[in-house]
């Protein structure tokens, strides 16, 4: 049996905050093409920091990868900007339901398709697909995001990432704010 292609390879990374605080040491993981990997651990174990290292969002927190390598499809990505990573198909959904409060649910979703170049029909097809994942968003599509529930905002943040038609989605606390019924339905999809 042949070995699956590796989509993401994190090898022995070390992350330091404020030039002195060692937060991660020797973290390694691989994600095969089409695979699902979960990072498990208690609060403060480094799950969010690991995701931020992969998506290169540490600078905003005064953090940096100081050792190790991170590769996406065999290419080193530590020096790429988050925007360049999005263009390569790597999207992170941050913890905490980050939505554009003044935009409607559908406008929020469409911001996720901003970098797409495959045409309006393909974007509409993806929009239909994400509404099928979370039908509640379709009924609330004209509601301003600020006036939706925390669970609806979390669904919106996840679906906005999917609108980019990514190769890889990093989800930080994806079930936060979702009802147990929705979490159960998503885990079966």
pLDDT of residue 97: 72
| pLDDT of res. 96 | 76
- One fold for 1-88 and 90-189: yes
- pTM confidence score: 0.84
pLDDT, tens only, 54-108? 999 998 889 999 999 999 999 999 999 999 999 999 999 988 778 999 999 999 9
pLDDT for the residue numbered 60:
87
Phi, psi of 7 (to 5 degrees): -80, -50
Q: What CATH topology corresponds to 1-88?
A: Rossmann fold (3.40.50)
Q: Output the pLDDT for position 61.
A: 87
- Pull the structure tokens for residue 128: 């239909």
pLDDT in tens, 71-82: 999 999 999 999
- CB neighbour list of residue 115: distance below 8 Å, 6 or more residues apart: 86, 87, 164
Low-confidence stretches of the chain (pLDDT < 50) are: 183, 187
Is 3.40.50.2300 the CATH number for 90-189? no
Residues 6+ positions from 150 with CB-CB distance below 8 Å: 97, 176, 177
CA pair distance 104, 143, nearest whole angstrom? 5
State residue 98's pLDDT score: 83
Our measurement of the distance from residue 160's CA atom to the centroid of its chain's CA atoms, rounded to an integer in Å, reads 10
Please state, as a whole number, how many other Cβ atoms lie within 10 Å of the Cβ of residue 186: 15
**Token pair for residue 174?**
């994806």
Residue 61 burial (10 A CB sphere; 0-12, 13-18, 19+): middle
DSSP state of 141: T
pLDDT for 95: 84
**Cα–chain center distance at 139:** 24
**Helix or strand or coil: residue 27?**
strand
Contact by Cβ (8 Å): 68, 27: yes
Query: Is the distance from CB of 157 to CB of 99 less than 8 angstroms?
Result: yes
- Write down the domain spans for the chain: 1-88, 90-189
Strand partners, 134: none
The pLDDT value recorded for residue 179 is 52
DSSP tally for the chain: helices H, then strands E: 7, 6
């Amino acid at each position: 049996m042949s070995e699956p292609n590796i989509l993401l390879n994190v090898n022995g990374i070390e992350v330091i905050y404020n030039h002195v605080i060692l937060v991660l040491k020797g973290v390694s993981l691989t994600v095969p093409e089409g695979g699902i990997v979960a990072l498990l651990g208690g609060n403060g174990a480094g799950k969010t920091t690991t995701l931020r290292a992969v998506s290169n969002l540490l600078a905003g927190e005064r953090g940096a990868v100081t050792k190790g390598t991170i590769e996406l499809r065999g290419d080193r990505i530590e020096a790429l900007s988050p925007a360049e990573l999005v263009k390569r198909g790597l999207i992170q959904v941050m913890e905490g339901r980050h939505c554009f409060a003044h935009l409607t649910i559908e406008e929020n979703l469409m911001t996720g398709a901003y970098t797409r170049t495959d045409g309006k029909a393909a974007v509409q097809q993806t929009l239909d697909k994400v509404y099928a994942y979370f039908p509640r968003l379709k009924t609330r599509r004209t509601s301003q995001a600020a006036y939706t529930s925390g669970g609806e905002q979390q669904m919106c943040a996840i679906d906005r990432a999917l609108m980019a038609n990514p190769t890889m989605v990093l989800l930080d606390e994806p079930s936060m704010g979702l009802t147990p019924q929705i979490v159960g339905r998503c885990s079966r999809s």
